[in-house]
């Protein structure tokens, strides 16, 4: 995330806005015709993998995909560097998700083509943070608010959540932000990120109390206990379910227009439920708008990396097809 300055972020968002007609299938573009994305996912993923792939397809490019470490040559002892050299010979851009911290950086150092970090262990998940901030901006604008001076609460496993880590770095680029951090004892945000935010002028308030943590904010960013990052399942189980947001708690403690976000997946099993499904009818629940925004932001990233952001429209036609799609707000088929 440190590679981005505020002007870069604004540029990505401006291009993402222009990608909407393509994501809506009003137009198809062939601007990346012939280009190959290698989507390398060595940890569980659905939305990140599919939305990166869809974004590339929507720009007219081709996607090759590997999922699971067990089906790659890494299990034969191949180093990340060899792997990167080989794969970059087959690709024009690579997205990698891998369980080791720093893996994307190591991979990129040996790759001949640009590499996007799709999540490196508990460290970072920068494209998620970009789509989160894009969503925050859109939701705030719909309430006539601005990102500078806004108030956000991050809830849950702030120690292991890589989306949280990248988002905190990104938030440090904005003015007068208030960041409330509420986590179970032992799952607090990394100290260096708290210090970074304070140094850049943000107001940071930490607590271990869900009910206190969710009050007086514009955005609530709820996260899952990252059970795959704990030494034992018992330890993960101890934390799961400690912080749960549902409609009753929301109504009692949150301001009436507080927007609810979550990087997803939410843990809907009985022991988890950090974000209760009884919030699904709440119009301030933005989680599915957030996932849709992921496609726009990832299209923008590719368009900028390939330096074709201004040519996307020149290679556009109307699609030859139209598929029925249920209207998300009304539920009606169209």
Other beta carbons within 10 angstroms of residue 143's beta carbon come to 11
Using CB under 6 A as the binding rule, whether residue 225 contacts ligand NCD is answered as: no
Which is closer to ligand NCD, CB of 53 or CB of 263? Answer: 263
Whose structure tokens read 């972020």? Answer: 9
Whose structure tokens read 């301001």? Answer: 255
Where helices occur in 62-115 by DSSP H, the ranges are 80-88, 103-110
Partnered with residue 316 across adjacent β-strands are 29
Closest approach, Cβ 254 to ligand NCD, in A, equals 22
Query: Contact with ligand NCD (CB under 6 A): which of 130, 163, 173, 275?
Result: 163
Query: Contact with ligand NCD (CB under 6 A): which of 60, 126, 213, 263?
Result: 263
The two three-digit tokens of residue 320, written as one number: 């030859």
Environment class of residue 200 by beta-carbon count within 10 Å: exposed (0-12), middle (13-18) or buried (19+)?
middle
Only segment of 72-80, 104-112, 223-231, 312-320 that touches ligand NCD (CB under 6 A): 223-231
Using CB under 6 A as the binding rule, whether residue 240 contacts ligand NCD is answered as: no
Which is closer to ligand NCD, CB of 9 or CB of 122? Answer: 122
Which is closer to ligand NCD, CB of 46 or CB of 176? Answer: 46
Only segment of 12-20, 184-192, 207-215, 218-226 that touches ligand NCD (CB under 6 A): 218-226
Rounded-to-integer distance, Cα 243 and Cα 274, Å: 6
Q: Which of 101, 68, 98, 70 is nearest to 84 (CA)?
A: 98
Using CB under 6 A as the binding rule, whether residue 289 contacts ligand NCD is answered as: no
The two three-digit tokens of residue 264, written as one number: 């997803």
Query: Contact with ligand NCD (CB under 6 A): which of 29, 38, 39, 48?
Result: 48
Using CB under 6 A as the binding rule, whether residue 298 contacts ligand NCD is answered as: no
Other beta carbons within 10 angstroms of residue 69's beta carbon come to 14
Rounded (5°) CA angle 202-177-199: 15
113-152 mask for ligand NCD (x: CB under 6 A)? Answer: ------x-----x--x------------------------
Other beta carbons within 10 angstroms of residue 63's beta carbon come to 19
Enumerate residues 6+ apart whose C-beta is below 8 A from 73. 83
100-119 mask for ligand NCD (x: CB under 6 A)? Answer: -------------------x
The binding site for ligand NCD (CB under 6 A) comprises 47-48, 119, 125, 128, 162-163, 223-224, 226, 263-264
């Amino acid at each position: 995330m440190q590679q981005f300055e505020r002007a870069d972020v604004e540029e990505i968002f401006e291009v993402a806005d222009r990608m909407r007609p393509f994501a809506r299938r009003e137009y198809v573009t062939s601007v990346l015709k012939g280009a190959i994305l290698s989507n390398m996912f060595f940890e569980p993923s659905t939305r990140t993998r599919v939305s990166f792939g869809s974004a590339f397809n929507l720009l007219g490019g081709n996607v090759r995909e590997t999922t699971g470490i067990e089906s790659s040559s890494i299990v034969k002892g191949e180093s990340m560097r060899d792997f990167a050299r080989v794969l970059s010979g087959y690709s024009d851009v690579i997205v990698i998700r891998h369980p080791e911290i720093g893996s994307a950086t190591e991979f990129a150092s040996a790759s001949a083509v640009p590499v996007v970090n799709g999540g490196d262990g508990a460290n970072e998940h920068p494209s998620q943070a970009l789509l989160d901030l894009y969503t925050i901006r859109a939701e705030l604008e719909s309430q006539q608010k601005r990102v500078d001076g806004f108030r956000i609460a991050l809830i849950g496993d702030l120690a292991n959540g890589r989306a949280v880590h990248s988002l905190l770095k990104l938030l440090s680029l904005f003015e007068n932000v208030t960041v409330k951090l509420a986590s179970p004892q032992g799952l607090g945000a990394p100290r260096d990120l708290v210090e970074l935010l304070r140094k850049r002028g943000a107001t940071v308030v930490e607590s271990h109390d869900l009910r206190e943590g969710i009050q007086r904010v514009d955005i609530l960013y709820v996260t899952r206990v990252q059970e795959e990052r704990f030494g034992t399942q018992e330890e993960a189980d101890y934390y799961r379910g400690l912080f749960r947001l549902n409609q009753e708690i929301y109504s009692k403690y949150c301001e009436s227009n507080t927007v609810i976000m979550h990087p997803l997946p939410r843990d809907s099993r009985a022991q988890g439920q950090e974000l209760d499904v009884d919030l699904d009818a709440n119009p301030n629940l933005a989680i599915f708008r957030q996932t849709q925004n992921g496609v726009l932001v990832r299209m923008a990233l590719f368009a900028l990396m390939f330096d074709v952001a201004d040519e996307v429209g020149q290679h556009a036609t109307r699609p030859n097809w139209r598929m029925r799609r249920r209207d998300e707000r009304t539920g009606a088929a169209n």
